Structure 1
Amino acid sequence: MPPPTIDPTDPEALVKELFSDERWAKDQFFEHLSDPLLALCEALAGCFRSMERLKNAAGQINTQRISLVAAFMYGVLDDLVISTKLLLTGKLSAAGNVMRQVVEGIAMSILCSTDDPLIIAWKKKKPIKALYWQKVWNEDQQAQGYLAIDQLNWNADKLGVTDAGVEQLRQAKKRYNAYSHCGTTTITCRVSIEEPGVFHLGGEFDEAKLDLYRAELVSRNALCRLLPGLIQHLTETMTPPGAVVARAVVPAQRADHQEQ
């Protein structure tokens, strides 16, 4: 079945497009990718079940720092849902842009999980330390999301994050950076591979991109299967002093620090 077409010079047609549920594209995705979609939803449901425990713990303690941990982690799950919804309309660049926020949100939630000073920057090869969560709360320039992966790397040992975890987040951010800025990657996302030169307005499904769609779903599935361990770790950081805190289940091979 061919995709629906609209006349973009007609204001009424554009209004209909803006309120479209992109049913044609979504039906095509489910027809071709139902198995990885169902697997993703199963993994994502497990994340939300883990999130309930974190929310309960945060509600009992109710401090600014704990609220930030919970808010960032809930944002991670919400962005995963939104990104996947965008993916299921064929909008790879928009979906990838939101996934970059997922990666940064994971790092920021971990960085907010301690009351100890953390390294937030380097000056003349000397670390600059501060309470990260306070910097976030005050919307300080040194706590912007694009810095979070490097900051997590500098503090990984203190925060109980594995080297493999930081590197995985770094590689994910690098991958999704290409979707977050205008360039050849975002152009390719809009062009039909099956019909070169044809651009799509609104939802689309390009069967020639099936491997790419599948890879995106599999990648989200793998991330969702790691997140419950991280959420459990963050929940345990909310326990009274003296409680045993597990190591975070997050990826990474740490690079040397960068002077800023």
Structure 2
Amino acid sequence: MTQPEIDLTQPDAVRRELLDDDRAVKDEFARHLDGELNELAEVLAACFRLLPAINEAANRLQTQRSALVAGFAFGVLDDLVISTKLMLSGKAPAAGNVMRQAVEGIAMSMLCSTDELLVVEMKKKQTPVRARYWEKVWSGDSRTQGHLAVTQLDWNAATLKLNGDGVARLRHARNHYNTFSHCGTLTIASRVALDVPGMVYVGGHFDPAKLDAYRVEMNERIGLCRVLPPFMDRLLATMPRPAGRPLAAAQPAEPA
């Protein structure tokens, strides 16, 4: 695919680029990754089929904890859709950044799924700090920022009775997408035409020389969607009985 050169020193050209829907780029992705797209559609649809039961349980319980669990669960699937749309528009760094949020959302939803005290902070030579994670999220505690969630899930895997393989898959995904979320050599390479010296891309693009990398990204999403149903089943299993406090009036139970 040969993309037209754009003179971005001209305001009209900039405006056209900002409003461009990247249709030609998406068509190239669809043509080269048809099999992966079909597979991702199947596994992502299976995840969406599990969502109504979680939402219904949260609506029935009307607690802060259930609201957080359902909110994070929906956010994970929404982030997967948005990230993939960005990728299929040729915007790899932005797509990877949103994927990191999806991974963090899985961890945060699991951490919010219990009233048990969980480790929220662990420092050398100090006693681990435990608290009800969902209460700290609700109150905006800095120890529940998303970038900490996968590590905290690892600390609490035994308490939450989580499968080690699933947590390891999240760690792998987080580490992979960390490189997309900050400036570095990967973000430079994502904007350079690999087979055409001196050519750089602004906005969305499809580069045939990056096809193997595109397939890796699609398979990352497929793999993550395959481990999501067990996580979502676990979330639902924590919600049938009332827990937490009413949405209108909850106070943290722990001073941690």
Provide the TM-score with structure 2 as the length reference.
Answer: 0.91
Residue aligned with 1:179, SS: coil
Counterpart-to-counterpart distance in 1, 2:165 and 2:229: 17
Mapped partners of 1:237, 1:186: distance in 2? 40
Answer yes or no: is the 8 Å Cα contact 1:3–1:24 preserved in 2. no
3-state SS of 1:180 partner: coil
Q: Distance in 2 between matches of 1:70 and 1:239?
A: 13
Q: Give how far 1:78 is off.
A: 0.6
**Structure 2 residue 182 is matched with structure 1 residue 171:** no
- Displacement after TM superposition at 1:24 (Å): 1.0
Tell me, yes or no, if structure 1 residue 52 matches structure 2 residue 52: yes
* Equivalent residues in 2 for 1:119-138, closer than 5 Å: 119-123=119-123, 124-138=125-139
Partner of 1:181: 182
TM-score, length-scaled by structure 1: 0.89
Using the alignment, how far apart are the partners of 2:154 and 2:219 within structure 1? 25
Question: How many percent of aligned residue pairs carry the same amino acid?
Answer: 53
Aligned equivalent of 1:85: 85
Measured against aligned partners, the alpha-carbon deviations of 1:37-80 in whole angstroms (never above 9, x if no partner) come to 11101111111111111111111111111111111111110110
- Residue identity in the other structure for 2:195: E
Separation (CA, whole Å) in 2 of partners of 1:32 and 1:231:
31
Conserved 8 A contact 2:166-2:227? no
**Structure 1 residue 199: Cα displacement:** 0.8
2:75 counterpart letter in structure 1: G
How is 1:1-260 mapped onto 2 (pairs within 5 angstroms)?
Answer: 1-123=1-123, 124-240=125-241
Could you list the structure 1 runs, at least 4 aligned residues long, displaced by more than 6 angstroms after superposition: none
- Name the aligned partner's letter for residue 88 of structure 1: L
Q: Gaps (5+ residues) in structure 1?
A: 242-260
**Matched residue of 2:66: which SS?**
helix
Q: Report the alpha carbon displacement of residue 184 of structure 1 after superposing the two structures with TM.
A: 0.5
In 1, the alpha carbon distance for the partners of 2:135 and 2:81 equals 28
What's the offset of the Cα at 1:197?
2.3
Q: Deviations over 1:130-162 (max 9, x none)?
A: 111111111111111111111111111111211
SS at match of 2:198: coil
Verify the 8 A CA contact 2:47 2:225 in the aligned structure 1: yes
Count of aligned positions: 241
- Say whether the 8 Å CA contact 2:96–2:180 is kept in structure 1: yes
Q: Which residue of 1 aligns with 2:249?
A: none
Given residue 69 of structure 1, which amino acid in structure 2 is its aligned partner?
V
- In 2, the alpha carbon distance for the partners of 1:69 and 1:240 equals 14
Shift in Å, 1:226: 1.7
Shift of 1:114: 0.4
Q: Where does residue 248 of structure 1 map in the other structure?
A: none
Which amino acid in structure 2 is aligned with residue 11 of structure 1? Answer: P
Point out where structure 2 has 5 or more consecutive residues left out of the alignment. 243-256
- How much has 1:2 moved relative to structure 2? 1.6
Name the SS for the 2:190 alignment partner: helix
Instruction: Report SS of the residue matched to 1:119.
Output: strand
Contact 1:4 1:24 in 2 (8 A): no
Structure 1 CA distance for aligned equivalents of residues 158 and 216 of structure 2: 31
